[in-house]
Amino acid sequence: MNTFYFESAVVCSDIHLGKNSDELSRAFIYWLKESCLERIKSKPEWLLILGDLFDAWVGDDILETDIPPDYVITIVTVLKQISFSGTKIGIMHGNRDFLIGEKFCKAVDAELLPEEILLSHNETNSTYLLMHGDQLCTDDVEHQLFRKLVQSTDWKREFLKKNITNRFSLATKMREESYRAKSKKRQEIMDINVSETEKRMTSFDVNIIIHGHTHKPGSYNLPSGKKRVVLPDWRLVQGKLSGGGLLLNSSGIHQLSL
């Protein structure tokens, strides 16, 4: 298990940037600048993105095309600014952008994180378990099988052999199939399994877990008395934007609203 030691960290997930997300992209860029570049006296040491930065990432070679999509250019530019300013960046895979690789991370001067990390504060020794969160949804057997498939070396190799246009088409088809499947599932199946969550927290000896994925932001008490904190997801519904993240520092966990 990788342990990262920190003074302060901005944490977010589930932004789902894509070709039809202009308004959401602008809001996220504004939030990033406010959270990581404008806080002169309390500049975060880390920016940690816990998965699904993109609605679909079809391979790092998209950066090498003649004209990368605007949302890609925009996020690369602001992440470079944040890194250049002195804030370290860590990016974790989500269930939508599991093909982010070292080329993308190198382009924005970020570290590609493993699927689980421990974050330990230098002074208070407060330690948090961080992950995207879909690995906790063990009741959703269909999703776990899909997760195992797309994370396999063979699947990735075959997918990346296709041209970028075909990859985007396949990604769109996969999303549509996922939406249809979700519409037929009970909500509780798509949430975390409490026993699995408690087991992982016990194995890493932590009292607080922070994750995304479930799109049910908030703070929840587990049966053991331990706590799980679900990150806000970013969305635009009927013209209304919602999103945000967390600031972790010596005084605990703080909301960073949009």
Give the right CATH number for 2-138+194-257 from 3.40.50.970, 3.60.21.10, 3.40.50.170, 2.20.28.120: 3.60.21.10
What is the average pLDDT value for the chain, to the nearest integer?
93
Query: What pLDDT does 176 receive?
Result: 86
Taking only the tens place, the pLDDT of each residue in 165-204 is 999 999 999 888 887 877 777 777 779 999 999 999 999 9
Q: What is the pLDDT of residue 258?
A: 84
Place of tokens 């599932």: 185
pLDDT at 237: 80
Average pLDDT value for residue range 77-95:
97
For residue 8, pLDDT over 70 is answered with: yes
Digit-coded pLDDT (tens) for 38-69: 865 678 999 999 999 999 999 999 999 888 99
Q: Which residues of 226-255 are buried (b: 16+ CB within 10 A; e: fewer)?
A: bbbbbbbbbebeeeeeebbbbbbbeeebee
The pLDDT assigned to 136 comes to 96
**The pLDDT of residue 202:** 96
Our CA dihedral for 31, 37, 43, 48, rounded to 10 degrees, sits at 50
Percent of the chain with pLDDT over 90: 84
For residue 124, what pLDDT is reported? 93
